[in-house]
Amino acid sequence: MMTSDAPIGVFDSGIGGLTVAREIMRNLPMEKIVYFGDTARVPYGNKSKATIVRYSLQITNFLRTQGIKALVIACNTATSMALPEVSEFAGMPVIGVVEPGARVAAETTRNGRIGVIGTRATISANAYTNAIHSINPSLNVIGQACPMLVPLVEEGWVHDHVTDEILMRYLDDLLEHDIDTLILGCTHYPLLRSAIKRLVGNQVNLVNPAYETAKELERMLGREGLASDSPRNQDEPYPYRFFVSDEAEKFTDFANSILPVDVGRARMIPIEEY
């Protein structure tokens, strides 16, 4: 029996999902979070569907041992490749990041031309195109795989002229299609937001699905009667717990640099055993 004061499970292939966890912390301050970053096996974006499904199910299995009440797949690649499998397996409400991002892009575009950047897996699965077309089939969606961006973010090269040049190679094509909306279709990319904004200019609206995912999570918890309604008291244990499959210290440093709270210590777990 799931209780409303149980934590929410959030996972990603690495640090990218922290951009989603950050929005959940900001928008749903009464909710607890158990985060898992698969730092030993990142990146997922160049791997096959079978592998991404297997990894996602192992992580779901691990997060279930933490007594979670709902699960957020804070990774576009895992959402694109494994959302139905995870939903079937989890035995609790599950949301991904693609649908919420697609909805806001479909609602806000003015000229009907939407660009999407993501990993190879996300773009080749046509995840955003399908989600946007199920809302409005007349919209034009142009996808661009950007396989080099995740390693650059994982390395911390977010303000670097090399990253700018690589970004420009990826974005040039999209800009030629006269897009007015660009979906940051990988949870690592909001960390490059200021560079991307500078390169695409003010006429292109950036959509960060992390924000919409937090809103969707709030609606879903309300619908399911799972929203936490008791403010935490001082004696309660720390509300956010972090687990990784490798390099816990590096992850902790990074998480502390982008989250509005002190992360404590991320713990390493043997994810292959789940």
- Beta carbon of residue 84, minimum distance to ligand DGL (angstroms, whole number): 17
- Distance (Å, whole) CA 155 – CA 173: 25
**Cβ proximity to ligand DGL, 68 vs 117, nearer residue:** 117
- Beta carbon of residue 234, minimum distance to ligand DGL (angstroms, whole number): 34
**Residue number with the smallest Cβ distance to ligand DGL:** 45
Catalytic-role residue among 63, 106, 186, 195:
186
**Cβ proximity to ligand DGL, 152 vs 227, nearer residue:** 152
Minimal CA–CA distance to 188: which of 160, 223, 215, 157? 157
Question: Does the annotation mark 146 as catalytic?
Answer: no
Q: Enter the tokens of residue 234.
A: 């001082």
- Beta carbon of residue 15, minimum distance to ligand DGL (angstroms, whole number): 8
Residues 6+ apart with CB under 8 A from 16: 74, 75, 150, 153, 186, 187, 188, 189, 191
**Cβ proximity to ligand DGL, 86 vs 227, nearer residue:** 86
Minimal CA–CA distance to 73: which of 202, 196, 187, 208? 187
Cβ burial, residue 155 (10 Å; 0-12/13-18/19+): exposed
Question: Does the annotation mark 186 as catalytic?
Answer: yes
**Cβ proximity to ligand DGL, 7 vs 16, nearer residue:** 16
Catalytic-role residue among 75, 82, 214, 271:
75
The residues that touch ligand DGL, with contacts defined as CB under 6 A, are: 12-13, 16, 42-45, 75-77, 119, 122, 150, 186-188
Helices (H), 30-75: 49-64
**Which residue numbers are catalytic?**
75, 186
